[in-house]
Amino acid sequence: MADKYLVEPDVNFVKEIIRLGGDDVKKCFQCATCSVVCPISPDNKPFPRKEMIAAQWGLKDKLVSNLDIWLCHQCGDCSTKCPRGAKPGDVLGAIRSYAISEYAVPKWLAKAVNEPEKLPVLLLIPVVIFLVLGYITGLMNFSPGGEEISHANFFSSWLVDMIFVPLTVWVIAIFAMGIKRFVKDIHESAVREGKTNKDRVEAVAFIQALVRILPTILKHSKFSECEENKDRATAHLMVFYSFIGLFIVTNIFFVVLYVFQIHGPYSQLNPVKWLANVSGVALVIGSILMIKNRLARTDQSTSYKDWYLLGLVLGLGLTGMLTEMTRLAGAAGLSYFMYFAHLVFVFNLFAFLPFSKLAHLVYRTVAMAYAEYANR
């Protein structure tokens, strides 16, 4: 006997999906073309047809806890082949955006990050924090002087870490709470739908599954299976690996500064500086290519959440490179200004990471690991 499911449509949820980029969800007439043409959809209960049904009916609970919305890489194959122009890829992207806000706390901040009118406030928050803490602690000097330009003389390394270390704890805590609920929800959903018969998620087996899917993520293998947006893979890889490179550089210099007490600026011949510069250039080029790709694909929906992230990434890369270039050129005032702007972009990208589209990096990784764990 078939399982019974009580349908409780949420009209507001449908409206939210439309607002977040799934404008054409109501055009779908369930022909299943999307599930047939998707190169990465599993044969057992393929997506995105069932997600399109649920979205049209406003079944929020069924979609937010759905593992498959994260397995979709929004390559665009389904949207291009859709005979009705329903753009399933964009609809799933909108559902993911909604799910990110749903799992993040506090909710008011998640809402603010995705509202364009709140952008000036979000940019102003770090400016106020920097200036107030800098004034109170005396760790910010607006007249650094000296023959050598050193950003630490203007914005002390102690002040940077006083702000960003607690910020790191904040981001990890928010993601930890969100992921705990996320894994619980997708596991319960998988049990209900017969995708797994395990009562609970086994931590060791899950971690082993995570390790197994890392090569797929690092190689971006799923992108190569798509046809419509295959050119997006290069730009995505450049940005992805530039962040990894900059993360490595930041941690190395953190150890060098506080363990070995070696203060910057560091020589351009330093191999770590090479990695920093290459990563910075890759970040700028990659983000520009992403923006170019977005502008060229007029057939795909692009919402504020997309431009917000792309703008932050490009701003982060440009201010970082200009900070370095103006320092080498001896333009002290301009270099210090660019460094301050760079820190503002870093703060915005990092502090609001659990609420922005970039959170998909975490949730999709967890979802792919769970799919591997549950033999999806």
pLDDT in tens, 10-39: 888 999 899 888 888 989 988 989 999 888
pLDDT of residue 1: 46
Which residue matches tokens 């799919």?
A: 371
- Dist CA 48 CA 256 (whole Å): 49
Q: pLDDT tens digits for 157-214?
A: 899 999 999 999 999 999 999 999 999 999 988 888 777 777 788 999 999 999 999 9
User: pTM of the full predicted structure?
Assistant: 0.89
Domain extent listing, the chain: 11-103, 107-373
Q: pLDDT tens digits for 280-323?
A: 999 999 999 999 988 887 777 778 888 999 999 999 999 999 99
pLDDT of residue 267: 81
- In a 13 Å sphere around the CA of 324, the CA atoms on its Cβ side amount to 17
pLDDT of residue 221: 80
The overall average pLDDT reported for the chain is 89
* Contact present, 77 and 227 (Cβ < 8 Å): yes
Torsion of CA 187, 188, 193, 198, to 10 degrees: 60
- The third-level CATH classification (topology) of the domain covering 11-103 is Fumarate Reductase Iron-sulfur Protein; Chain B, domain 2 (1.10.1060)
